[in-house]
């Protein structure tokens, strides 16, 4: 389609006919999808629960154990506090759910805490929210995969020494599935999620019935209880530590608000319903597991998980049902990493679009997912697993601070949003980057809900930071400010580039006449040199060939050939007594440019061999590449490659 633009400019719009060919990537991640197929990649609520809620649901497999790990400082007598602590955590879950349902309806474009903080609290809180959430997403992958591997080694202890590489392999598998797209990964992960829920509800149902009947009993041959420290009595500080560890059950609650755009229309309603389903499942299941674990005398240990002890006690030993529970728990913990693989790339793309992360993270791959973000997440998570030797207990102190910090910023931002809406006149609209503000009659009640949620999550974040500081939480407390500093430097870089490239103060009238000088470095006279010479002469009549002489005899041969084939272009031979190649040439170019006229153009035409096979490059000096890299930072100089394909 041809359009007539301003100032007589012709603009032609053409449809792309190129279709990506089949390759090994097609076999691995599927055929490329066109942008027009994006609407078909949205998911239903039933699949959305598996994609975005698997992290929260899977936390029931280790949250109770982490509470017991802390209470074990005093001994098993303190385990009676586990259930009241779980009740407090579920109450906090209810408040968070109500708050995030409001967030979902207010910001149907997704983005969660980052967008809410950006629009209502400012740039710095938005960067803090992004740093906190990105850190939490990485830790979610490391913790959930490590916990899944712990379930495997509980059933098959012989695999314990290989747990690190099993965990790394599983991260790569989940990464590959996610590279195939949100819809396909959701379909793959839905069955294991519902299989886990069915078997866990069966286990707790059998356990509760047997507990009421008085036939439940206690764990037989329990593992040795690992006591990280010794304590004399139950104190408020100890209870707060146990509460902070147990709040890992709430991680993942925010994931649905970050991924609203993945749902089918009506997106906000479907996302809100899915969040409600998740909380209605998570709360009762977590309470039942904690109650039964304490009743049977389960002990926290990395040798055998609490879930494994509960399953074999409630189901009557290591039978088929027990193996099913352990297998399903292992699968759901691995699937929990999928929540991060759905959220991390979307959040990093939003931050990158605002200039706080590399722009490459905004590009979507062949399957309409942010493939670069997926790869980055997998790489960092694998590094953490290796560093912490796939130990859940070692990773947990790093966990949850980020998510509760993002909870706090999100709820505080929503409270401010309701306050702003309450001060608008009826019928008045204010458009912000992430949403449109309109007056709502019930703004006070909603502001109170979000404000109370912000207060509670801030208290939990503070408790977690203080109680877990010595155990490793200091790493995250230092990491988040470091990430925010990195975001600000990246943002400054993009802002400076935008200012340098701006056309606002650009002179539209070019100088009347501009001298264009072309310098052609030559190492020898051959067909590639002559091709570059013809190109150089097409650019300008002012062409100078330059040869750096490392050997007098070779320089003489170049001079003789140039006199025959150089088409009358002048040749400068630079003597290099110290056998340096680049330095004399760069000094000559510097001398030429320093004595040039104002507005003079200088182009360096660099002949470059392109061998038939890539490995052949190792057989050549790569002088063209080194020269190009050295000249790219020189102002006022244009570097042009002239490739010569060698067969």
Per-residue 3-state assignment (H helix, E strand, C coil) for 240-290: HHHHHHHHHHHCCCCHHHHCHHHECCCHHHHHHHHHHHHHHHHHHHHHHHH
- Give the domain range for residue 224: 47-408+462-492
Number of domains in the chain: 2
CA distance 475 to 597: 56
Residue 249 counted as domain residue = yes
Residue 484: per-residue pLDDT: 95
Is 361 found in the same domain as 259? yes
Cβ-Cβ contacts under 8 Å for 112 (sequence gap 6 or more): 103, 133, 254, 257, 258, 347, 406, 410
Tokens (6 digits) for 25 = 């990537």
Q: Which pLDDT band holds residue 647 (cuts at 50, 70, 90)? A: low
220 shares its domain with 116:
yes
581 three-state secondary structure: coil
Least confident of 15-19, 112-116, 122-126: 15-19
Task: Find the CATH number of the domain harbouring 615.
Answer: 3.40.50.620
Please name the residues in contact with 577: beta carbons below 8 A apart, sequence gap of 6 or more: none
Question: Is residue 105 domain-resident?
Answer: yes
Q: Taking a C-beta distance cutoff of 8 angstroms, is the pair 184, 268 a contact?
A: no
Question: Is residue 402 situated within a structural domain?
Answer: yes
- Tell me the C-alpha distance between 79 and 63, whole Å: 14
Question: CA neighbours within 13 Å on the CB side: how many for 351?
Answer: 34
Do residues 121 and 63 both lie within one domain? yes
In sequence order, the 6+-apart residues with CB closer than 8 A to the CB of 402 are 131, 132, 133, 134, 135, 136, 139, 476, 480
pLDDT in tens, 577-598: 887 878 888 888 888 888 776 6
Average pLDDT, the chain: 84
Name beta bridge partners: 610.
645
**Per-residue pLDDT reduced to its tens digit, 514-552:** 788 999 999 889 888 899 999 999 999 999 999 988 888
CA 335-338-342 angle, to 5 degrees, is 160
Pairing mode, if any, of strands 2-4 and 516-521?
unpaired
Residue 465, Cα to own-chain centre: how many angstroms?
23
538 and 477 co-located in one domain: no
Least confident window among 80-89, 219-228, 470-479, 483-492: 219-228
Residues 242, 93 share a domain: yes
Answer yes or no: do 91 and 238 share one domain. yes
- Cα–Cα distance, 411 to 516 (Å, whole number): 60
Same domain, 488 and 523: no
Which range has the top average pLDDT, 9-13, 190-194, 535-539? 535-539
Rounded Cα distance between 65 and 83, Å, is 12
User: Rg for the chain (alpha carbons), in Å?
Assistant: 32
């Amino acid at each position: 389609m041809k359009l007539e633009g301003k100032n007589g400019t012709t603009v032609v719009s053409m449809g792309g006919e190129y279709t990506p060919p089949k390759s090994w990537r097609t076999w691995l991640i599927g055929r490329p999808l066109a942008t027009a197929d994006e609407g078909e990649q949205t998911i239903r609520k039933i699949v959305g629960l598996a994609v975005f809620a698997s992290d929260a649901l899977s936390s029931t497999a280790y949250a109770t154990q982490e509470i017991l790990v802390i209470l074990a400082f005093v001994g098993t007598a303190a385990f009676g506090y586990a259930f009241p602590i779980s009740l407090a955590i579920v109450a906090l879950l209810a408040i968070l759910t109500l708050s995030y349902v409001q967030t979902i309806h207010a910001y149907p474009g997704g983005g969660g805490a980052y967008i809410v903080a950006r629009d209502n609290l400012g740039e710095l809180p938005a960067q803090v929210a992004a740093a906190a959430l990105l850190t939490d997403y990485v830790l979610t992958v490391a913790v959930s995969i490590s916990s899944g591997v712990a379930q495997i080694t509980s059933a098959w202890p012989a695999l314990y020494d290989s747990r690190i590489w099993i965990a790394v392999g599983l991260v790569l598998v989940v990464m590959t599935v996610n590279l195939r797209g949100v819809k396909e990964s959701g379909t793959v992960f839905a069955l294991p999620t519902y299989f886990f829920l069915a078997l866990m509800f069966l286990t707790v149902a059998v356990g509760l019935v047997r507990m009421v009947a008085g036939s439940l009993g206690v764990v037989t041959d329990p593992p040795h209880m690992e006591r990280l420290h010794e304590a004399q009595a139950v104190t408020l500080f100890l209870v707060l530590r146990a509460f902070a560890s147990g709040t890992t059950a709430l991680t993942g609650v925010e994931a649905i608000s970050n991924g609203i755009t993945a749902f089918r229309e009506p997106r906000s309603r479907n996302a809100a319903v899915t969040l409600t389903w998740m909380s209605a499942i998570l709360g009762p299941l977590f309470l039942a597991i904690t109650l039964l674990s304490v009743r049977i005398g389960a002990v926290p240990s990395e040798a055998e998980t609490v879930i494994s002890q509960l399953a074999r006690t409630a189901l009557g030993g290591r039978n088929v049902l027990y193996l099913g529970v352990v297998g399903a728990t292992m699968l759901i913990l691995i699937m929990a990493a999928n929540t991060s693989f759905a959220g991390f790339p979307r959040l990093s793309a939003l931050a990158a679009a605002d200039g706080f992360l590399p722009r490459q993270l905004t590009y979507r791959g062949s399957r309409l997912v942010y493939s670069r973000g997926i790869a980055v997440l997998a790489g960092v998570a694998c590094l953490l697993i290796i560093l912490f030797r796939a130990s859940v207990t070692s990773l947990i102190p790093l966990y949850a601070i980020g998510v509760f910090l993002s909870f706090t910023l999100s709820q505080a931002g929503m409270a401010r949003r309701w306050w702003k809406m309450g001060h608008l006149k009826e019928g008045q609209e204010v458009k912000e980057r992430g949403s449109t503000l309109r007056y709502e009659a019930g703004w006070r009640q909603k502001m109170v809900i979000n404000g109370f949620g912000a207060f509670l999550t801030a208290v939990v974040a503070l408790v977690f930071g203080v109680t877990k500081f010595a155990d490793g939480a200091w790493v995250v407390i230092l990491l988040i400010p470091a990430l925010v500093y990195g975001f600000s430097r990246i943002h400054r870089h993009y802002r400076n580039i935008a200012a340098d490239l701006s056309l606002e103060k650009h002179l539209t009238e070019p100088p009347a006449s501009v001298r264009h000088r072309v310098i052609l470095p030559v190492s020898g006279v051959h067909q590639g040199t002559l091709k570059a010479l013809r190109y150089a002469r097409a650019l300008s009549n002012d062409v100078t060939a330059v040869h750096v002489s490392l050997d007098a005899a070779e320089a003489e041969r170049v001079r003789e050939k140039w006199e025959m084939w150089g088409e009358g272009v002048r040749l400068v031979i630079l003597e290099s007594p110290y056998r340096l190649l680049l330095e004399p040439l760069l000094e000559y170019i510097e001398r030429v440019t320093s004595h040039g006229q104002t507005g003079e153009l200088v182009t360096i035409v660099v002949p470059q061999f392109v061998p038939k096979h890539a490995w052949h490059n190792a057989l050549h000096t790569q002088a063209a590449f080194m020269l190009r890299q050295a000249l790219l930072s020189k102002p006022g100089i244009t570097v042009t490659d002239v490739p010569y394909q060698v067969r």
